[in-house]
């Protein structure tokens, strides 16, 4: 497989916290669209398009699919077939923290679960090591020290180069980062849900991570598709996430939300962007963010997201207008 020789010339890269790692400002998330229920040739082409455009970071979790584990298995097969010569150009991440198998050891954050899950992930990915291994969510039942010690030991055993956190609130993230620092295994990165419509990280998390020198990569930047043109007419398309009543509920599509989305879309058009492109650019305006994770159903959708890079700057009036729109009740 021959990839674009100029792939690193147009993608901006940002340093991840205080580390030596740089990430593309747009990374590819394999949460959905890469499972066994999806078309393999379609997501193979999506991966090619990503790498051709300088996206070096592919993000997974043990339970991505469906079925759980299939996204890792499918990526592993493609890596072995087409990316062997480029493994050292890629930064691959996976996670553990949600339910993966039956019984008391297949969920949360015990040492037993994290070690077993990573071993399974490496087998599916056909890899000797993963670049970043995340704890996917806090565990209210396991001492934080046990979970962080397991992450540290995973690095010392050479099974991961770096560790990260996901879905940790500010106070718990601060404690976890401190424990990892004491273990001489710095937290590389934190992955929070963050978008124009979900701004919880702004309350304290962004400041905590910035002060600690931890990188930040936002997931769900399009709020499960709300920040696209899918719902601007107030209806719910049959193939949309809201129609499946899973992660996004149809009840969330309220008249008030449609008004906000329409106003945001009008501003995006004035900027020469789609609503989705503006939503990605709006996140990247904050230099504290290392990268934004986008999902893609196919190469066309990914290419459309990449066009956000054509206009990442915002004027003061634009930012004030966005703030006014988002504050509408």
In the structure, what pLDDT confidence band is assigned to residue 211 with cuts at 50, 70 and 90?
A: very high
Of residues 4, 8, 70, 13, the one with CA closest to residue 43: 70
CA distances from 78 to 89, 124, 303, 306 (A): 15, 11, 20, 22
**Residue 322: is its pLDDT beyond 60?**
yes
On whether residue 326 sits in a domain, the answer given is no
The pair of three-digit structure tokens given for residue 173, joined into one six-digit string: 């993230």
The pLDDT assigned to 244 comes to 53
Element (H, E) at 160: strand 160-166
Residue that is written with structure tokens 């297949």 in the block: 106
Would you say residue 39 lies in a domain? yes
pLDDT band at 237 (very low <50, low <70, confident <90, very high): low
Q: Say if 235 falls within a structural domain.
A: no
* Within-domain flag for 286: yes
Confidence (pLDDT) at 236: 61
pLDDT tens digits for 183-204?
999 999 999 999 999 999 999 9
Summarised one tens digit per residue, pLDDT across range 50-74 is 999 999 999 999 999 999 999 999 9
Kindly report the pTM of this predicted structure. Answer: 0.94
pLDDT digits (tens, 9 = 90+) for 278-291: 999 999 999 999 99
* DSSP classification of residue 91: E
Q: Mean per-residue pLDDT for 296-315?
A: 97
- Domain range for 134 is 13-225+277-312
Within a domain: 7: no
DSSP H or E stretch at residue 293 = strand 291-294
pLDDT tens digits, 118-144: 999 999 999 999 999 999 999 999 999
Q: Is residue 253 part of a domain?
A: no
- The answer to whether residue 322 sits within a structural domain is no
Mean pLDDT of the chain: 94
pLDDT tens profile 78-93? 999 999 999 999 999 9
CA gap 211, 223 in Å, rounded: 27
328 in a domain, yes or no? no
pLDDT for res 245: 46
Residue 224: CA atoms inside 13 Å, Cβ hemisphere, count? 16
pLDDT-derived band of residue 329, with 50, 70 and 90 as boundaries?
low
Q: How many domains does the chain have?
A: 1
User: What pLDDT shows up at residue 254?
Assistant: 87
């Amino acid at each position: 497989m021959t990839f674009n020789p100029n792939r690193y010339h147009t993608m901006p890269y940002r340093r991840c916290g205080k580390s030596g790692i740089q990430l593309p400002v747009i990374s590819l998330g394999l949460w959905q669209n890469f499972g066994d229920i999806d078309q393999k040739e379609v997501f193979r082409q999506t991966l090619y398009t990503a790498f051709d455009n300088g996206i070096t970071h592919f993000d997974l979790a043990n339970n991505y699919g469906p079925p759980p584990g299939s996204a890792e298995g499918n990526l592993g097969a493609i890596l072995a077939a087409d990316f062997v010569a480029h493994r050292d150009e890629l930064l691959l991440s996976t996670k553990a923290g949600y339910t993966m198998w039956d019984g008391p050891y297949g969920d949360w954050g015990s040492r037993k679960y994290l070690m077993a899950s990573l071993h399974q992930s490496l087998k599916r990915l056909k890899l000797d090591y993963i670049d970043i291994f995340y704890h996917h969510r806090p565990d209210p039942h396991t001492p934080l020290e046990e979970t962080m010690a397991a992450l540290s030991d995973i690095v010392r055993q050479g099974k991961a180069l770096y560790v990260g956190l996901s879905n940790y609130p500010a106070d718990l993230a601060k404690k976890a980062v401190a424990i990892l620092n004491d273990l001489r295994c710095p937290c590389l990165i934190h992955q929070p849900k963050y978008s124009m419509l979900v701004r919880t990280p702004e309350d304290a998390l962004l400041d905590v991570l910035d002060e600690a020198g931890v990188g930040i990569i936002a997931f769900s930047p399009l709020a499960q598709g709300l920040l696209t043109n899918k719902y601007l007419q107030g209806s719910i398309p049959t193939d949309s996430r809201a129609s499946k009543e899973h992660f996004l509920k149809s009840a969330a599509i309220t008249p008030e939300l449609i008004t906000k989305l329409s106003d945001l879309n009008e501003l995006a058009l004035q900027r020469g962007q789609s609503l989705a492109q503006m939503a990605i650019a709006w996140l990247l305006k904050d230099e504290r963010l290392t990268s934004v994770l986008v999902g893609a159903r196919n190469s066309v959708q990914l290419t459309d997201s990449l066009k956000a890079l054509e206009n990442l700057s915002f004027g003061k009036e634009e930012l004030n207008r966005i703030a006014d729109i988002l504050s509408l009740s």
